[in-house]
Amino acid sequence: MAKGAKKGGRVRDKWRDKQWVVINKPSGFEPAGPVNYIPITDVEQAKGRVIENTMFDIMKQDPAQHQIKVYIQIDKISDGNATTIFKGHEYAKEFLRSLIRRGSSMVTFIHDYTTMDGHTFRVAAIAFTQRRVNSSKKHEIRMVAHKILAERIPQLTVDQFVLEVTGGKSEDIPRETNSKLGADILAATKKITVIRHLGIKKTKLISTPESRAIEDAKPVEATPAAPQ
């Protein structure tokens, strides 16, 4: 048999085994509707799959929304339609690099917060000052950011949180930021120093009420007694 020849039978076309599924926006983004159309082989294996989009893919409002990446996770699939949950977002690398300037300071802050309905997110805020600032002012900016986030996020549902960190709300947002929560922090930190940009750089879903309930329901293995 010639090298590389296949033993009898037809080659199976894997694409024919796939089904196309409409991926819908997570709840909270209006108007509701599809955002992706993807092929899958198995419905059960597709659940939990994370898909990357941009805010422009979801909102179709402003070309500047291309600078925000949004991650959505397939939750359920029924009759060729998939519902999703918001898994997190982050600044595109190109956008983040464009914010860096010589002669200015970058201040970052990361902490976990839980929404009113029990969704815990890791939230990363970032600020770029007009001129270099000392460690004391950087600390003040972080403390202000933590105070506002710790007060605001527990008062928001997960749908409200998603809109306020991604800039999905329709309210006017200052050009120095691109989210409602970022605008709240920006207004307070301007009293400390001149801020060129301040925003919620990244969020990541850590846990949901459902995932915690499953974790709590797991049986706890007994610790073997120490030998006498």
We report the CATH number of the domain holding residue 140 as 3.30.479.30
Note whether 185 and 113 are same-domain residues. Answer: yes
Residue that terminates a domain, selected from 49, 64, 92 = 92
Note whether 112 and 62 are same-domain residues. Answer: no
Q: Which of 11, 209, 179 is nearest to 119 (CA)?
A: 209
Residue that terminates a domain, selected from 42, 61, 92 = 92
* pLDDT at position 11: 61
Note whether 181 and 151 are same-domain residues. Answer: yes
Cis peptide leading into residue 63 (ω within 30°): no
Tally the domains of the chain.
Answer: 2
pLDDT digits (tens, 9 = 90+) for 187-221: 999 899 999 999 999 999 999 988 766 666 666 56
Answer yes or no: is 115 within a domain: yes
Listed in sequence order, the residues at least 6 apart from 97 whose beta carbon sits closer than 8 Å to its beta carbon are none
Q: Could you tell me the pTM of the whole model?
A: 0.85
Of 171 and 34, more confident: 34
Residue that terminates a domain, selected from 92, 117, 138 = 92
Q: How confident is the model at residue 91 (pLDDT cuts 50, 70, 90)?
A: very high
Residue type, 135: S
Note whether 75 and 150 are same-domain residues. Answer: no
Note whether 82 and 160 are same-domain residues. Answer: no
pLDDT digits (tens, 9 = 90+) for 122-155: 999 999 999 999 999 999 999 999 999 999 999 9
Note whether 78 and 114 are same-domain residues. Answer: no
Note whether 149 and 172 are same-domain residues. Answer: yes
Q: Which two three-digit tokens encode residue 8?
A: 């009898």
What is the residue range of 50's domain? 19-92
